[in-house]
Amino acid sequence: MVVYNGLNRHFGYMKPDFYYEIALSSLPQIGAKTIQTLFEHFDSAEEILKANAKAFENIPKITLRTIELLKQKPNEEAIYAEIDFIQKHQIEVFTYSHPQYPERLRNCVDSPFIVYYKGTANLAKKKVIGIVGSRMATEYGKNFIKNLMQDLAPFDPLIISGLAYGIDVAAHKEALSNNLETIGILAHGLDMIYPKAHVAIAKEMHLQGGLLTEYRFGQMPEKGNFPARNRIIAGLCDAVIVVEARQKGGALITAELANSYDREVFALPGRIYDTKSLGCNDLIKTNAAQLIQSAEDLIIGLAWDVPQSNRQIQTKLLAQLTTFEQEIICQLQAQPLQIDNLMLALCCTAAELSIGLTSLEIKGVIAYLPGKFIRSYY
């Protein structure tokens, strides 16, 4: 109980069953999807770990082997060591049930059950951009990031990357230089920094952004952790920008994940014979990413900025809309909607809606948002 009282003093909000949440997350071979399935049938980690074998019957995808793993005795020494580390370093710990668990990440099908966070940035910030790319960045890529951060600074987005060599660390450095908060997503525990060359910038990020991971303290940066880490980068963002990427690698994995989560993906084009840009060029060629040349492409693509002059023009156009177009605007006034939900609300066909939306977009009355949502400017 003393440990939990210490946690309460540090973090303000901690569930009584926090011990069990760490215990559940530490069980070997019990992944995020399995835990998500279990929470559809149980109210807490404590309830899951204390349930008898019969309670797991008829739960889809919960095998006898999974039940055996769940009935293992937790390593209490390791769990309390974890809690002591959390308390000592004032780390915030968010699980699915925690109100501060990042909402963008919670909506991903393979989101981690638990994340550890040390920093100052608001994970629910309105504008969040992920930047990934080659570990062997060229001046072309670095200069693009430098100009991008300068131009994005007035919009105050949160910048997410992986604290790796090359494009990642360039994004973090330029964000800090432009007074933007930036968070590094780690492939290991918070008790270390990998690579060690980035210890100094990681300390700066603690004060102007932060570090976040799904891995417990003591977890080393193993090879398989890096692709898994990429899903958190993609899941936390509104959009991912790929800057210099080969035809295979972590940056393309992140882009693929971002598309699967219905995030917007942008890629910086490069010379057709430049191996460091082949991945970006392929993303653009296959329509897996929008071409980006400057911050303006991102701002327009995410509908961040609507000049006042455009709003005045749109007001005049509103009176000239067809009845069906006005019905679309009426549905979008309360909140942005996805196409499927808009089609159901209007009781129309996909073809009819497509024609109406195209007309409204040309007239500058609507805009497409990350996650395939549509918003109205009225």
Domain-by-domain residue ranges, the chain? 2-90, 128-301, 308-376
Q: Which of 129, 132, 128 is nearest to 243 (CA)?
A: 132
Q: Residue 333: its pLDDT value, please?
A: 79
| pLDDT of res. 5 | 35
Q: Which two tokens stand for residue 368?
A: 């497409």
What is the architecture, at CATH level 2, of domain 308-376? Orthogonal Bundle (1.10)
What is the per-residue pLDDT for 213?
Answer: 97
pLDDT of residue 156: 95
Both tokens of 248, joined, read 């295979």
Query: What is the model's pTM?
Result: 0.77
Cβ 303 vs Cβ 368: under 8 Å: yes
State residue 75's pLDDT score.
84
Q: Closest by alpha carbon to 378, among 301, 313, 298?
A: 313
Domain 128-301 identical in fold to domain 308-376: no
Q: How far apart are CA 22 and CA 330, in angstroms?
A: 47
> How many residues are present in the chain?
378
| Residue spans of beta strands (DSSP E) within the chain | 92-95, 114-119, 128-133, 158-161, 182-185, 209-213, 239-243, 264-267, 290-291, 337-338, 366-369, 373-376
Q: What is the CATH number of domain 128-301?
A: 3.40.50.450
Determine phi and psi for 210, rounding to 5 degrees: 155, -175
Answer for the pair 178, 150: CB distance below 8 angstroms, yes or no.
yes
Run means of pLDDT, 10 residues per run, the chain, 378 residues: 36 54 88 88 90 89 89 85 90 89 90 95 95 96 97 96 97 98 97 96 97 93 92 96 93 95 94 93 94 92 64 57 89 82 89 91 78 75
Q: Rounded distance, CA 285 to CA 270, Å?
A: 12
From the CB of residue 85, how many other CB atoms can be counted at a distance below 10 Å? 17
Q: What is the pLDDT of residue 301?
A: 85
> What is residue 206's predicted lDDT score, i.e. its pLDDT?
95
Which residue reads 């977009």 in tokens? Answer: 361
CA distance 235 to 67: 29
pLDDT of res. 15? 41
